[in-house]
Structure 1
Amino acid sequence: MILFDFKIQKYLENNKHLLAINNYYRKTLGLSKKQLQKETGIPHATYRRAELNDFIDHPDMLIKIAEYFELPTTVDESLINELNDNFNLLYTYYYLDNQEKLELYFNKIEEKKEHYEKTVFITVYHFAILVYYVGSKKRVEVDQIYESLQFLENFRSDLLDVFVFLLDDYYYCYYSLIHDEDNSIRYAHKVYVEVGKYPKLLPLILFQMSLNYYFINDYANCIFYSLESLPRLVNDLNYNRALSANLNMAICFERLDNTVKSKELLNKISLYLMTNENPRLKYLTELTMANCLVSEKKYEEAVPIFEKLQYFNGIKWENYLMRLYCYYKLKDLEAYQKLEEELIEFDRQEKIFQGYFDLVLLMNALLTYDKKAILEKFRIAEKSFQYYGDSKIVDLIYQELQERKIIKKSQVTI
């Protein structure tokens, strides 16, 4: 059972696979059509007539051009069928949010990458990268995502229609991940209009849109698209994603200071977790509950939760920073200094991401009344916000600086 059959075998119809890879090599090598005709000995008039209908009646010409570029002119159809099956399953497990199977099918595709080289099917490999990276914790590796997008852009005019749609969808995801609000919204409109052509993809696209709005700190639209996706996810019996949609809404309600609604959703999720094992969901539920306590200024109650969560699946620096912030608000200087020393030691050992440590230095400056020093540390820390701008600590820092009249609301850049 699969969510959607992408039918990559359609590239083999009318030698579209040869046309696509020939066009790619001509463009990337900087050859004009006139130069290509000269190099291959194809008369200009013959080439122009063939080009009018994408060389459908001239497979010999496509083969001649492919041989000029030293490209394979035949493909193993069984290999393409296998690639299609693996990509369909990869996308299905992305939809189901099954990380283990997502990685399994990505690895299956990657293992045979060499067989797709110098063919149009290398594009399917790069789409697999996009699905896997955006759909997993590797989403932070935005450079790899951008690299695949740029590679695929060279094929845009020769991609199957559904892959043109996916290309725009992953541009949308990329711009959201780097917190580029203008481009994110531009692609959001494009994707929302086009997804109607692919109704089976609609539940996942709506869910992804809710996440993308969260990444650009548009919490109201995140809630809206979570609500749009929920009945469709439940109709597909995709309870993993439905739970995530509820959690996304809980997080957004907390960010909008509606902790009552947030806790209402969190309590329902906690009830589910009493009889269902889901470590990641449990972590995020408890983290959001702790953030609710911070929003309610119940810092003392929040501290032990952040402390408990800071070693979930590796060190979670945001939880260290949230504890530091709580001690700052509680004016517990002894606890603050003890934790700060621990973080300074992590920095000496080069274990902490510099962007996080910049926030430690900023909070240290906040203990003073030196506006110039605070602003200086803020400008340094702000450079890294694109990498974790959706973290609660960033919202709190902006709020603190605005309350102390160090920055204005118009200066918020995430």
Structure 2
Amino acid sequence: MSQVPATPERCRLLLEQWRSQLQLSGREQSQLGGQLQALDHQLDRLQQRRLRVAVFGRVGVGKSSLLNALLGQAAFATDVAHGCTRHQEARAWDQPIAGLAQVELVDTPGIDEIAAAARARLAARVALSSDLVLLVLDGDLTSVEHDALSPLLASGKPLLLVLNRCDCWSEQQQTALIASIQRRLPAAARHLELIPVAAAPRQPELLADGRVRSVTQPPRVSPLRRALVDLLEQHGELLLALNALAGAERFHLALQRWRLGASRQAAQSLIGRFAAIKATGVAANPLVLLDLAGGLACDTALVLQLCQLYGLPMGGAGARQLLQRLSGHNALLGGAQLAIQLALGALRQLLLLGAPFTAGLSLASAAPVALAQAALAVHTTRLTGRLAAAELLRGAQRGGRPGALLRRLAQRDPQVRLWLGERSEPPANLQALLP
């Protein structure tokens, strides 16, 4: 019996298959080229087992010093004036990690040097390009740090909380500080432990002339190093796979939203044609049951055509399920439509049957009834098209195969569920995309 691949390997194989089957038009490649390039970089890192760990935090909390302490060399610039890091910088960590070919440590700018909107964009970039984030604090949680946590948690990014400069407090003060930080954390992050470190501790030294100077001591980051090594050896490949799955899901959502928006005008024209066909058939046909059967066939064909237009091909069974959901969303496509059509159809048949007895005068009344049936057919067809487009968009928001696998992993693995936390995507503007 062949051995079932481990979860990271299954994720890698699925993503490779999904990427190879991704069909993009020239216009789509032009519009989404940057996002596709970022996704391909993530997939390359998964293939090559190159994991990225980023530090995140305010200016002056010691992010660069912390990374230098882990690296064992002054690779990242530090300055007493703070704010040395203006752009993301990465260095390879020479710490061997089982299962990984390379680990990169990434320094980022301070989050309190930039405006709130730019801060959110920085957090999104960090989350996108890193597999694990270290949020570095040097005191109680500030409002800036609390707000910056939100986009990281929403992205489902695994986090480690690091409390730097622990040499500045007594053991009792440190315990009280950690308790205060945990109370202030968002609910989705309160399960995280704080790891106390001292990246660049200093100690006063009395000189011979009576002056006191501050002397740098060896860094004390062993707890963080052990936590990182243990986490990455146990779950490093899985962290890479989760980030790649999340990146594939984001691209899938962006692609489907773009297709829905780009196809809006064509969908309007398509729905108009089907509405005209349905209205003509209803107005010309005297039998109610044939009206209903023809209307259902017309709506089914419309749904299939919309799926093809949006680049989301479906089989007949899928279209039937979609139509069932549509009828549940709007009673007009169910009992209300049936009742109205039966009533109008019966009235028209009576008027037609009464024509010989009224010297044809009842036919004049039958015409408005037929027009009313045609108007109802137009309305329900347009409603079917809009609801179908909305359902297709909601289906696209579920993320396709990468998103489905991500949700299954979260359901089955409590650790993955904790990492993903309150992961969510920003809601799409449905009204702007609907035909």
TM bucket, shorter chain: under 0.3
Which structure's residues are more often strand, by fraction? 2
Please identify which structure carries the higher helix content: 1
Which one has the largest radius of gyration? 2
**What is the TM-score when the length of structure 1 is the normalising length?**
0.23
Q: TM-score, normalised by structure 2?
A: 0.22
